Homo-oligomer: A and B are copies of this chain.
Amino acid sequence: MSLVVVGSMAFDAIETPFGKSDKIIGGAATYIAWCASNFCKVNQISVVGGDFPKSELDALAARGVSFEGLQIKENEKSFFWSGKYHLDMNSRDTLVTELNVLANFEPVVPESYQGCEFLMLGNLDPKVQRSVIEQLRTKPKLIVLDTMNFWMDIMMDEVLKTISMVDVLVINDSEARQLSGDNSLVRAAKKILTMGPKYLVIKKGEHGALLFHENEVFFAPALPLEEVFDPTGAGDTFAGGFVAHLAKTNDISFENMKTAIVLGSAMASFCVEKFGTQRLQELKNGDINDRLNQFKQLSNFEIALV
């Protein structure tokens, strides 16, 4: 089924305890597209400057990513972010943020994207995310939104207004605590499920992810890895795998969302193995299935009632 993805396509410069990248290609929608295009057609909405390499767009287009919704501002520069991860890889400092083309981004939904059934709103200004929802003449079957503490810090009202319009909210554990004002994740989830979303995914990094819906809860582990080389984009990749599986199967049941979360977790486990999108680009036939089987071995057990 048709999937529209909204988010940044950008440059990143990343420093981790294992090394330092050059200025490489990043951005939420870039990670989502590299991931989701393994499973379904992707219709991208984004904005880049004249400095963004055409080769990157061509590589994604060859995987079935449509760029009809991409604005290329030839005389401007692409969004740039630079960050440095701490030793534990669970926290990072932002060193540089240059909004550039993102500063005045007004997304335009192309006519050919109308009627899309799945909408993935990658991390962006909540007003921009909302503008895409409002441009769609038919409400999609499922709207998934990712956001972050940055927007909660500076425009919580806008965040609340936008998340009230979506079906699935994807945030991390500290963001769930910030949004709900509650330290207990279970109580935080209950509160957030009264704010609009019917489903809540809480990402816990190396500790996996939780999916909440009404009184149900599901947990997907992260793959235990010797090293997390670069966590950048892991959350976007996770969300991309999640929504792409739902779009591919056109099934938004809770049971299928369990599978989707595990798929997202599996895709994220590739992402962190190298800098940027490199590992996602190198995926070979069978790699994803091998990893899904690893997740099955990792998680599934026989119940023995007493």
- Are A296 and B306 in touch, CB under 8 angstroms? no
User: A38 to B304, alpha carbons, bound, how many Å?
Assistant: 13
Q: Which residue of B lies closest to A296 (CB)?
A: B303
Q: Does A210 sit within 8 A of B, measured CB to CB?
A: yes
- Are A225 and B186 in touch, CB under 8 angstroms? yes
Q: Does A57 sit within 8 A of B, measured CB to CB?
A: no
Instruction: Count chain A residues whose beta carbon lies closer than 8 angstroms to a beta carbon of B.
Output: 47
- Are A245 and B186 in touch, CB under 8 angstroms? no
Give a binary string over A257-297; 1 marks a CB under 8 Å from any B CB, 0 the rest: 01101110000000000000000000000001100110111
Interface residues, chain A, CB within 8 Å of chain B?
A: 38-39, 87-88, 183-187, 204, 207-208, 210, 216-221, 224-227, 245, 249, 255, 258-259, 261-263, 288-289, 292-293, 295-306
A interface, over-half SS: mixed
Q: Using Cβ atoms and an 8 Å threshold, which residues of chain B touch A299? A: 218-219, 299-301
Copies of this chain per assembly: 2
- Are B288 and A295 in touch, CB under 8 angstroms? no
- Are A224 and B245 in touch, CB under 8 angstroms? no
The contact of A303 among B186, B216, B219, B295, by CB within 8 Å, is B295
The contact of A226 among B39, B186, B262, B306, by CB within 8 Å, is B186
Supply 26 A–B pairs (Cβ within 8 Å), ascending by A.
A38-B306, A87-B183, A184-B225, A186-B225, A204-B207, A210-B224, A217-B297, A217-B298, A218-B297, A218-B299, A218-B301, A219-B224, A219-B299, A220-B301, A221-B221, A255-B301, A255-B302, A258-B301, A258-B302, A259-B304, A261-B301, A292-B303, A292-B306, A293-B303, A299-B300, A299-B301
